Amino acid sequence: MGSVLRILTVGDVVGKPGRDILIRRAREIRERFKLDFVVANAENAAGGSGLTPEIYKAIIENGVDCVTLGDHAFRQKAIFSILNSDDPRIVRPGNYPPEAPGRGWTVLEVPATAERPAVRVAVGALLGRVFMQPIDCPLRAADKMLDRIPSDVRARIVDFHAEATSEKQTMGRYLDGRVSAVLGTHTHVATADETILPGGTAFQCDIGMTGPFDGIIGRRYDRVLETTKTFRPTVFEVATGDARLNGTIVDVDSATGKAVKIERLVFRADD
């Protein structure tokens, strides 16, 4: 067995409440949970939709190593400048068209510590297509991605941004034994099914949301209710209260890439 890498993946960061808890507390969370590497899905970090270069920089300079994106990846076009640059710390869904800005996977180095040498980690993002916009097959996109990731990079995290639990479970099984973790995002509600599949891949349908829990998946309840009852469009403003960080910690054997432990994390603003 190689050294163990502790990797936290943070669920969809929503608006100011979400990015505040992440930016202010990520370094402390790293220390407290002895984390080696932190990934955060920031697709909703700017006003609840998309990501700006300023917010990206604040996240990446304050304890997060890699940012992933989902179906809201391109809501703020300003992020194209980062996606089109050679910055390897941000990925958008890998089953987007090849012409789309950015990359679908990346390999980053986790610096050496007193206990272990430097280790490389691959991070990839994929979008589901059940109850979502039509897009290329995520399973075939996953195969292509894994063909390109260097074979000696054993620690591999896949953010599968999808709606349906069945589609997420299918991806988990499909990649079992080929990646360290398949972690679902997008629904903003964490599921209690975290497990290690038979081939050694950590799996969870959804790792939840980092944002205001006093609302409807991060939006103001009154606005959602108005539109639900009357069909009158409203602005689904980001909610404000009860900020929490949701994420999942996976311990990965750096020699084999297999997960040895998976654990959900809920961190409240007053923790």
- Of 37-45, 168-176, 220-228, 237-245, the window that binds Fe ion (rule: CB under 5 A) is 37-45
The reply to whether 167 sits near Fe ion by the rule CB under 5 A is no
The reply to whether 70 sits near Fe ion by the rule CB under 5 A is yes
CA dist list (Å): 267 to 12, 33, 86: 14, 11, 33
Q: Are 156 and 122 in contact (CB under 8 A)?
A: yes
In this complex, which beta carbon is closest to Fe ion, that of residue 50 or of residue 63? 50
Give me the least distance between CB of 213 and Fe ion, in Å please.
14
Give the residues across from 15 on adjacent strands.
none
Give me the least distance between CB of 82 and Fe ion, in Å please.
19
- Residue linked to tokens 């700006």: 52
Give me the least distance between CB of 73 and Fe ion, in Å please.
9
Give me the least distance between CB of 186 and Fe ion, in Å please.
4
Reference 242, options 221, 269, 262; nearest CA is: 269
x-marked contacts with Fe ion along 47-66 as a string, rule CB under 5 A: --------------------
The reply to whether 184 sits near Fe ion by the rule CB under 5 A is no
Give me the least distance between CB of 121 and Fe ion, in Å please.
23
The reply to whether 220 sits near Fe ion by the rule CB under 5 A is no
The reply to whether 246 sits near Fe ion by the rule CB under 5 A is no
Q: Where are the alpha helices (DSSP H) in the chain?
A: 15-32, 53-60, 80-83, 138-148, 165-174, 221-230
How far is Cα 163 from Cα 151, in angstroms, rounded to an integer? 30
Reference 79, options 105, 95, 56; nearest CA is: 56
The reply to whether 71 sits near Fe ion by the rule CB under 5 A is yes
In this complex, which beta carbon is closest to Fe ion, that of residue 71 or of residue 167? 71
The reply to whether 12 sits near Fe ion by the rule CB under 5 A is yes
Give me the least distance between CB of 18 and Fe ion, in Å please.
10
The reply to whether 19 sits near Fe ion by the rule CB under 5 A is no
Give exposure, 169-195, as e/b (b: 16+ Cβ within 10 Å). bbbbebbbebbbbbbbbbbbebeeebe
Kindly provide the residue ranges of all beta strands, DSSP E only, lying in the chain, ordered along the sequence: 4-10, 12-13, 37-41, 66-68, 90-91, 105-110, 119-127, 155-161, 181-185, 195-196, 202-204, 209-212, 243-253, 259-268
- Of 103-111, 120-128, 181-189, 262-270, the window that binds Fe ion (rule: CB under 5 A) is 181-189
The reply to whether 159 sits near Fe ion by the rule CB under 5 A is no
Catalytic residues: 72
The reply to whether 44 sits near Fe ion by the rule CB under 5 A is yes
Question: Using CB under 5 A, which of 30, 186, 220, 258 touches Fe ion?
Answer: 186
Q: Provide the binding-site residues for Fe ion, judged by CB under 5 A.
A: 12, 44, 70-71, 186
